[in-house]
Amino acid sequence: MTERRRSFLKTLSGRFLILTVIFVMLAEVLIFVPSIARFRADFMLTRLKQAQIAALTQLAAEDMVSPDLERELLANAEVYNVVLRRNEVRQLVLSSPIPGEIHETYDLRMAGPWELIRDAFACLVDPTDRVVRVIGYPVQDAGTLIEVTMDTKPMREAMLDYGLRILALSALISVVTAFLLFLAVRRLIVLPIRRVVRHMQTYAEAPEDARRVIEPTADVEELRIAEEALQSMQTQLTGNLRQKERLAQLGSAVAKISHDLRNILTTAQLFADRLEGSADPTVARAAPKLIGSISRAVSLCESTLAFGKAEEPPPQLRRVNLAQLVGEVAEGEGLGTETTITCLIDVPPGLMIRADGEQLYRVLSNLIRNARQAIEPTGQPGTIEVSGGEDEHEWWVRVGDTGPGLPQKAREHLFAAFQGGARKGGTGLGLAIAAELVRGHGGRLELARSDAEGTEFAIHLPKGTTDTAG
């Protein structure tokens, strides 16, 4: 039972019910405070009116009222004595013994709202029966002032009875109001939200099923907009999943075809090697071209298979010394002192970046290899320059070469697989994979420039807020 109650309080309906009760009770308290103060003031005004009637009766009889009748008049008015001021003369009209000293004097002629509220709650919290003096204006202009002395006990009992009735009524109003609002909110808001959630759960079970896409039916504008947005998202997701399934099937078929084709091309390459040693001059001249074509075909098949199987894991970000990493890449690509290609590294020795060392190695290796392959066909000495640095927001690495630059067709689809290859026989997979790895770091790989003086790529890696020691 306790767990059920706790779960209900965590729901939107439960919390709205609680808030409704709280706010309604707050409103009732704001009503109760001036009401109880007004009730006290009216109670004392009633006593003043009753005392005035008794006083006028005494004055009309011209002192012929017996002591017993006087006591009865005071008892009916529930006061001890009555003082009436008429024609600037203050006169004690009715009097009786006062059981104690006067505790407080209340002048209703000058009392403001805050004073009435203060005095009312002071009377409520004080259970002692006290004698007080009350001053007010006579009704019907029967004088300039009337003053009575009375007990506070009857007034406090009447205030308590009135307050309890007001609180009971307030509680009843709060409960009824909260219940009605609860039903209204449940009907207008909670149930439509539950419907949306139920649709989301049902859709998640089988997102490929178009029948499970939500149909907007909400009358509330905000919920209607949410349902329409959810419908659009589900429709797009269902279409993407179907497309992904087709692509997966197509990729599987391509992989099988590529595998078989590679085997066929390997056999053809063996025969081409034999043809190269033929005595026939025509055959001997054609054999190298055939071998080159077959080699490119085999390379394409191998690259296609590798790309289809590639599932790059998320980068494991660590602190990496960029200068050391660039040096390892240059050494691995054979850019030593014995080659005609010079590798210049302009990276601060102490520059530490946050990246996956293995993945960044592959990116730099691809860029440096492409730079070397761009310079080698020219037959001229060349330079590959790798620079790095940082600013307030990111780290950057630039890889440039003195090659002939990229053709316009290669620039248009530079980072697209099987479309961006600049080298004859290339697949463009290297740059596509490199760009994907950089995006996995939250960065970007871009072509900074490419002209007759060479090509330069730029890697931008954003700085994060948390460093992971490696």
Query: What does the pLDDT look like over 113-122, one tens digit per residue?
Result: 888 888 888 8
Query: What is the pLDDT averaged over residues 180-200?
Result: 80
* Angle 17-18-19 from CA coordinates, rounded to 5°: 95
Q: Can you say whether residue 359 is alpha, beta or left, with left for phi > 0 and alpha for psi between -120 and 50 degrees?
A: alpha
Topology annotation, domain 318-462: Heat Shock Protein 90 (3.30.565)
Pairing of strands 102-107, 131-136: parallel
Token pair 């409103």 is found at: 27
Is 467 a residue whose pLDDT tops 60? Answer: no
Give the span between the Cα atoms of 337 and 359, in whole angstroms. Answer: 26
**Chain centre distance of CA 89:** 76
Q: Which residues contact 272 (CB under 8 A, 6 or more apart)?
A: 287, 290, 291, 294
Where is 162: in which H helix or E strand?
A: helix 153-185
- Residue 364's φ and ψ, nearest 5 degrees, are -65, -40
- Decide: 313 and 263 in contact? Cβ < 8 Å: no
pTM of this structure: 0.46
Q: What is the pLDDT of residue 312?
A: 62
How sure is the predictor about 63, in pLDDT bands with cuts at 50, 70 and 90?
A: low
Structure tokens, 201:
């759960």
Q: What is the pLDDT of residue 384?
A: 92
For residue 351, how many C-alpha atoms fall within 13 Å in the half-sphere facing its CB?
21
Q: What is the pLDDT of residue 138?
A: 80
Report the DSSP beta bridge partners of residue 458.
398, 446
Q: Can you point out the beta strands (E) in 37-152?
A: 81-86, 89-94, 102-107, 131-136, 145-151
Q: What is the pLDDT of residue 332?
A: 82
